[in-house]
Amino acid sequence: MEHLPINIKSEIGKLKGVIVHIPGPEVENMTPENAERALYSDILNLSIALPEYNNFIGVLKKHTHVFEVKELLTEIIRDEKVKHRLIAKICKHEQHEQDDVCQFIEQIPDEDLAHQLIEGVVMNKDTLTRFLDDERYCINPLPNFFFTRDASFAMGNEVMISKMANRVRDREAIIMNAVFKYHPVFKAETVNPVRVYDKSGKASIEGGDVIVARGDVFLVGNGGRTSPQGIDALIEHLKSKAGVQHIIVQELPYKPESFIHLDMTFTFLDREKCMIFEPLIINSHRFLTIHITVEGNKVTSIKEEDNLLTALRKLGIDLEPVYCGGLNDRYIMEREQWQSGANFFALEPGKIIGYARNTNTIEALSKHGFEVLAAKDIVKGNYDLDDYKKVVVTIQGNELSRGGGGARCMTMPVNRDEIGW
């Protein structure tokens, strides 16, 4: 593919291109001791997670053009100038500017370097200080990177580079910025709204919290990963756009950790359907929904709404909710939300993918007219998605879900067909 322009004006338009990262040794380069530092509450077994992931990516490959982060990174660092710039930026962030680590990294062959910048660069124990150091790596692994949604996200024809809430994930954003800036398939316009607009030093924003409802309507979660200052920085950028822009902010609980991003509680399924965690999205009285309107380089309105669905309805997006966990039992809702039961990814309107383990959620989708097909059967060619109008493709997800994310978390779409509302 020579060039693929960035074009994301909805969550459900037919998918034309998506970036993923296949989980690798970085996932197992964790121990129970350092898992918390890596933002994990558990450690994953790669030999179990990988077959689940392979079914997931197998479905994507039958439907769209799939780009893999490690391959993209390998291709851009073949350019020596790009390689030097990227290493310099990473070394500055990792505070290795004053030692010989950068020189050591510069000598790693390109393909090995792309792997090690994600899987971790093992420390060369060539001094007493390093020999006595308990750390195994001079550049730590990135076990969260298979959640490619977070470090960058597309809005319209631009790519927003995230400001991660936790420093341990900053290198993901650095790598994605380089991929979009230098890879010839994209050569995309990148914007880092926090770096450009924030003066507080408190801003963070991650892609799992940003949902493109329509070309002029954006949903943003405000919680542990995306701060009010980060949302304000995004709003400052939207002030430069023509026409009226709507930002609907949903406050999220800081605990439990399953509420890490907005897309763990709300995702689009079709033009007229969405998946929600009902106790937060409809019946919460503690967490605000705020509608901000931007026009003519200024905020023209900021007001509280009853909930996300009401706010969207006022803007002409009328959605029927499907309940994560089903209708009947709050405990089941909470258990399946914890297991990424609200986190679905749309391949096109009405064709979605998510975890099979959330049986009550899948049953609720079936009752709303979605055919249920196993990903492994799609990969084997037993079924063709083109034969169905509404379908949920299920990946097992017993191990993948322990990482704290679902199908939407594991994808960074770069191009979708536009749809009519």
Q: What local confidence, expressed as pLDDT, does residue 30 receive?
A: 62
Q: What local confidence, expressed as pLDDT, does residue 45 receive?
A: 86
421 residues of the chain, pLDDT tens digit each: 789 999 999 999 999 999 999 999 998 876 665 555 555 556 688 899 999 999 999 999 999 999 999 999 999 999 999 999 999 999 888 877 657 788 888 889 888 999 999 999 988 887 888 888 888 888 889 999 999 999 999 999 999 999 999 998 999 999 999 999 999 999 888 999 999 999 999 999 999 999 999 999 999 999 999 999 999 999 999 999 999 999 999 999 988 888 999 999 999 999 999 999 999 999 877 899 999 999 989 999 999 999 999 999 999 999 999 999 998 899 999 999 999 999 999 999 999 999 999 999 999 999 999 999 999 999 999 999 999 999 999 999 999 988 889 999 999 999 999 998 7
Q: What is the pTM of this model?
A: 0.94
Domains, the chain, in order of start with CATH, read 15-74+142-416 (3.75.10.10), 75-139 (no CATH)
Residue for token pair 């919460």: 284
Q: What local confidence, expressed as pLDDT, does residue 342 receive?
A: 98
